[in-house]
Amino acid sequence: MTHTPAPGESAATVLERISDQFADISHRFTAISDDMTALRGVLDTTDTPPASATQAHPATQAPRYTQAPQFTPPPPAAPAPPFVAPGHPIAPPVTPPPVTPHLIPPRLIPPRLIPPGPTMRPVSPYPMPPVAPRPYAPYPTHRVRPSAAPKRSVSDRISSAAERGLIGKLLAGAGVAITLVGVVLLLVLAAQAGLLRPELRVAGGAMLAAILVGVGVWIGRDAGKRSGASALVATGIAAALFDALAITTIYHWAPDYVSLILAAAIAAGGLGVARWWDSQTLALMVGVPVLVFAPIITGGVDAVLVGFMLCVAASALWIQLGRNWTALFAVNTAATTVPLLFVIADGHHYRTDDIRWFFVLALMLNVLLALGSTLALLRSSSRPLLITLIAMASVVPMLGAEYLAGDVVAAMMLAATALTVIVLTFVSGTVRGVTHAVRTVWLTSASVTAAAALIAILDGRGILIGLAGIGLVVAVAACVTTEFALPMRIIATVFTAVALFASLPFGALNRLLVNSSLTVTEQAQLVIVAAVSLAAVAVLTWSWSQNRPEAELHTIGTVGALISLGLVTEICVGLGGALSGGSDSGFRAGHAVATIVWVATAAAGLVWARHRSGPVRTLTVTVSLAVIAAAVAKLFLFDLAALDGLFRVIAFIVVGLLLLSLGVVYAQSLNSTDGRRTAAHT
C-alpha cells in the first residue's frame, strides 16, 4: 500500500505516520505468534496416546519437543523525536506491546529468528519401521581405459622421425658404410683386376679422404649441423687409415712399421675432431668400420693387422680422457683383442720363429694397454665396473698362449700378468675412480690367471696340487686382510673345492673303498693334494666362522669337520698305500689309523673345550661329539668288515681306550665341579 504524501504535508506528519505503521506490523506479528501457540496445543492434544499405553510402552511416548532457548527479540529502537512544525500538535508515540516468547518447533520458527545454539530435534514416539538397505552397486572391476589415440600413418611417423633428426642420422650412417665399401673396393678389387695405376688408387683414396674431412670440418663450424658433418669427417678418417694400410699390405711400398706409424698419426690427429666436437658418435663411426674392413685389406689376420689395431687404439686413447665414452672403449678393446683370439685359435699357422715372438709381445701389450686405459678412463667414467670388465676381456687370448708360445713361455706370461694385476689391486686404493668392486674384479682375474699359469706348466695331479695351493694361500691371505676378506674367502673356497672334486676321477675316491692299483708316485701326489686341501679347509672353517651367529657356527663347524674327516682318511690310506707299495696291509693299516685319528682328534677337542666358554665351547663340543659318532659308525660298519687280523683288534682296542679315558676325564671334571659348587654353597 503506497501512500502518497499530500501537498504541503510536513516531515513531522510523515514520521508520525511511519511510526503508526510500525506499531501495526508489531501487533500483527503478535497475533500470528498467538495463533501458532494455539495450533501447537491442538496438535499436542490430538497426538498424545492414553496413559496406559504410555506406561506400557515407554519407548513410544508422545513426541516431545525440546524447549528451544527463549528468544527475546531486541526492543525496537526508539524513534527519533519527530520534527514539530510550528502550529501542529504532537501526538504521543504508540508503544507496541511486548512480545512474549513461546515454545515454537524449530521447523516453524523462521530461520532468521532462530538464535544460535543447540538445534531442537523431535524424538520419535514410535519405533521406526525397518528400512531396506539400498542395493549396493559395486564399482566396475575393469578400468576404464581412455580412448586409444588414433593410429598414425607411416608417412606421419617418417615425418616425425625426420623432424627429430633420426632420418638424417640413418642416411649419414648408411652413407659412411657405402662410401667406405667403395674405398675398400678401390684399394683391393681394383688392384686385383688391374684397374687404374697403383699410384692413382692411393692418390685417389688420399684425396677423397682429405676432401671429406675438410668439407666436414667446414660444415661443422655450425654446431647445429655437426650431426651430418661428423659422418663426413669419420668417412674421411677411415678412408685415410685404409689408404695407409694398403701402402704396406697391398702395394708393399714401405716397411710395415711405416704403415703403423702413419696410421697412428692419422688416428691421433683425425680423431681430435671428435674430442673438439665432444662427439663419441664420430669416433665410433671410425672405430667400427676399421674393425670390420681392415681384415679385408690385409687379407686376413696377420702381424700387420694386429699391430695396426694396437696403434690405432693407443692413438685414440687421448681423445677419451675426461670423457665418459664407454662404447668407444669397448670398440677399441674389441679391435685389439678379437684378432688375437683368431691367432690363438689357429696357432699352428703362427708358430714360425719370425712372428711368434711378435704375437707374444702383442698379447702382453694388449693387456697393458687395457689396464692403462682403465686407470686413465676410470677418473671420468660413470660405469667403472663395466669399464673394468671390458678391459679384463683382453686377458682371454693370453689364456690360450700355450698353443702359440709353448708351456714355459705361456706360464711366465700368465704369472707376470697375475702378479701385475695383484699389485695393481693393492696399490690403487687411493686412485680416483677405482672402487672396491673394480679391485674385486682385478683380484678375481688375477686368481684365474694364476690358475691358468699352473695349468699351462703342470699336468695331471700336479694341477690339483697347484689349485689346492692357491686355495690355501688365498685362505691365509683372507685371514690377515679386512678389505678383501669376503672375496678372498670365496676365491679360496672355489679353488679348494675344484681341487677336491677334480681329484675324485684320479683315484681319490676309489682308494678309500678298495685297494687301488695306483703307483707310489700317484699315491704320494694324492696325499699332497689331500694334505694341502685339509689345511685350506681348516683355515677356511675358522675364517668363515668369524663374526657369525651361533646357529651358523654349528653349520660351518659341522661341514668343515665332515670334509676334514674325509681328507684325514684319504691321507692315512694314501700314506699306508705309498709306504707299503700298494699292498693290502697298507690299505687296512691306513683305515685303522684313520679311525683312531678321528677319535683322538675329537677327544682333544672335548678336552680343549673344558677350558672355554660361550659359543666356542658349544661349537667344539658339538663337532667333537659328531666326529666321535662318525668314528664309531665307521668302526662297526666299515672297519669290522674291511679290516682283518691285527688291524681290526688294534682299531677296536685303541678306540675303546680313548673313549674310556675321555669318559673318566669328563666324569672327574663333573665331580670336581659339583664339589666346588657344594663348597661354595656351604
Q: Which residue has the higher pLDDT, 241 or 22?
A: 241
Grid cell 700317484 is found at 522
109: region left, alpha or beta (phi > 0 left; psi from -120 to 50 alpha): beta
Given a contact cutoff of 8 angstroms between Cβ atoms, the answer to whether 285 and 176 are in contact is yes
Contacts of 187 (CB under 8 A, 6+ apart): 201, 202, 205, 242, 243, 246, 250, 297
What pLDDT is recorded for position 52? Answer: 45
pLDDT of residue 357: 82
CA distance 545 to 443: 23
Mean pLDDT over all residues of the chain? 76
Helix (H, G, I), strand (E, B) or coil at 242: helix
pLDDT of residue 48: 52
Average pLDDT of span 224-234: 83
In tens, the pLDDT along 343-355 reads 888 766 666 666 7
- 393, pLDDT greater than 80: yes
- Position 66 pLDDT exceeds 50: no
Distance, in Å, from the CA atom of 193 to the CA atom of 241, rounded to the nearest integer, reads 22
Residue 151 backbone phi and psi in degrees, to 5: -65, 140
Matching residue, cell 659348587: 677
Helix (H, G, I), strand (E, B) or coil at 316: coil
Give residue 123's identity as a one-letter amino acid code: V
3-class SS of residue 220: coil
In terms of average pLDDT, the best of 91-100, 223-232, 290-299 is: 290-299
What distance in Å separates the CA atoms of residue 462 and residue 330, rounded to the nearest whole number?
Answer: 38
Cell 673344558 appears where?
610
- Residues sharing a CB contact under 8 Å with residue 392, sequence separation 6 or more, in sequence order: 370, 441, 442, 445
> Which pLDDT band holds residue 385 (cuts at 50, 70, 90)?
very high
**What are 320-341's pLDDT values in tens digits?**
998 999 999 999 999 999 999 9
Mean pLDDT over 349-365 rounds to 79
Give the residue-averaged pLDDT of 543-569: 82
Average pLDDT in the 81-104 region? Answer: 49
How is residue 459 annotated by DSSP? -
Number of H-type helices and E-type strands within the chain: 27, 0
**Domain limits of the chain?**
12-35+77-115, 545-675
- Averaged over 488-505, what is the pLDDT? 90
pLDDT > 90? residue 532: yes
Is pLDDT of 215 > 50? Answer: yes
pTM: 0.67
Distance CA 256, CA 302 (A): 12
| Alpha helix segments (H runs only) across 10-107 | 11-47, 51-56
pLDDT at 539: 92
Q: Which of 20-34, 149-163, 439-453, 485-499 has the lowest mean pLDDT?
A: 149-163
Average of per-residue pLDDT across 612-636: 80
Residue 46's pLDDT band (boundaries 50, 70, 90)? low
| Contact in structure between 152 and 261 (CB atoms under 8 Å) | no
* pLDDT above 70 for 47: no
Helical packing angle, 303-315 and 280-298, nearest 10°: 170
Q: How distant, in Å, are the alpha carbons of 93, 132, 138, 349, 585 from that of 135?
A: 67, 9, 9, 88, 94
| 544 secondary structure, DSSP code | H
pLDDT at 452 over 60: yes
pLDDT confidence of residue 129: 53
Q: Is the pLDDT of residue 572 over 90?
A: no
In this predicted structure, what is the pLDDT of residue 29? 78
Amino acid at 96: P
pLDDT over 70 at 563, yes or no: yes
pLDDT at 468 over 60: yes
